[in-house]
Structure 1
Amino acid sequence: MRIRTMSETDLPTVVALAVEVFGPFHEESFRPAVGEVVFTDRDAHWREEYAEQIPKLAHVAVAETPDGVIAGFVAWDDRGDVSHVAVSPGHRRTGLGRALCEHAFARLKAAGTTVATIGTGGDDFHAPARALYESLGCTPFPLVTYYREL
């Protein structure tokens, strides 16, 4: 597996991967938890938002298999905030998420950043991410967001 900087030609694949990886969160975790009114107001356009957000991310690295398939990606900004870590279902539990995080952390450290942040949800969907980040030595700080239909 090779981790490299995302190229412009990778963009459609990376957006599709984000939709595939994070779709179950939006549709099967968040939507049932908050209900249709909140979902429609806050998250109904999540697919389009990935297409808009990903090209604007400061730094994106992709994990590419020897046969040229993009199996995951990681994104971060210059401040040290890791915003996305995504691994395709067929490549999970192989150490790829760890490698992507370590890649971002190494790039940040090389750029002189002293602290990195990486966040995730407290729901069941995000349990593997929480376990990964804690295994990487990240310290969790719980946050709670409440939604209310008005």
Structure 2
Amino acid sequence: MSDEIRAYEERDRDAVVALSLRAWEPVHASMRRELGDRLYLHMIPDWRVSQRAVVTRALESEEEHVWVSVSGGAVTGFASVRLRPAPGAEGEDGAGDGGSRRGEGEVTFLAVDPGHQGRGVGVALTEFAVDWIRDRGMGLAIIETGGDEGHAPARSTYSRAGLTPMPIVRYFKKL
């Protein structure tokens, strides 16, 4: 991968939002197939509107730390992290508990433009985010993704970056 990873800047906003829509289009198609139209459309009436809103909120949030990957001046991917330090953990080394008292960092968003997928950009962004979390003294890095077909590339990326999956099943019912 020849992309550079740098801190997000306001000038990156439109490119990040646009690439998130391209990157998550197959994910939403898969979710719609899995959930069926009735349930999916109840939960997400217009995924592009909601995707744009959640990504924009993350980019504007004081609590989110965001980076972009750039190749030839173009934004090729992005990642955002939210830290959750453990209460009262200052000065503790976390010994005896695997470091869990030091808190955790969660990769809240990670996307790579479809034209740049399969080149290691996602793994590089994941490793960068996990290293940043560790460097902030956190004892745990978390990334959540779906178990459906549309999320398969994300699961592969996170596994290649050395994260351990924990299968979780979430059920939905339209009432």
Between the aligned partners of 1:25 and 1:128, the Cα distance in structure 2 is 10
Is residue 68 from structure 1 mapped to residue 70 from structure 2 by the alignment?
Answer: no
Give the one of 59, 63, 68 matched to 2:65: 59
Q: Which has the larger radius of gyration?
A: 2
Length-normalised TM-score, structure 1 = 0.91
Count of residue pairs brought into register by the alignment:
148
Between the aligned partners of 1:145 and 1:112, the Cα distance in structure 2 is 31
Long gaps (5+) in structure 2? 59-63, 85-104
RMSD: 1.4
Percent identical among aligned pairs is 37
In the other structure, the counterpart of 1:111 is 136
Give the one of 160, 170, 175 matched to 1:135: 160
Higher helix share: 1
> Does the residue aligned with 1:61 lie in a helix, a strand or coil?
strand
Q: Compute the displacement of 1:30 (Å).
A: 1.1
Give the one of 78, 85, 103 matched to 2:83: 78
Deviates more, 1:55-64 or 1:43-52: 43-52
Between the aligned partners of 1:18 and 1:116, the Cα distance in structure 2 is 22
Length-normalised TM-score, structure 2 = 0.79
Are the aligned partners of 2:81 and 2:129 in contact in 1 as well (CA < 8 Å)?
A: yes
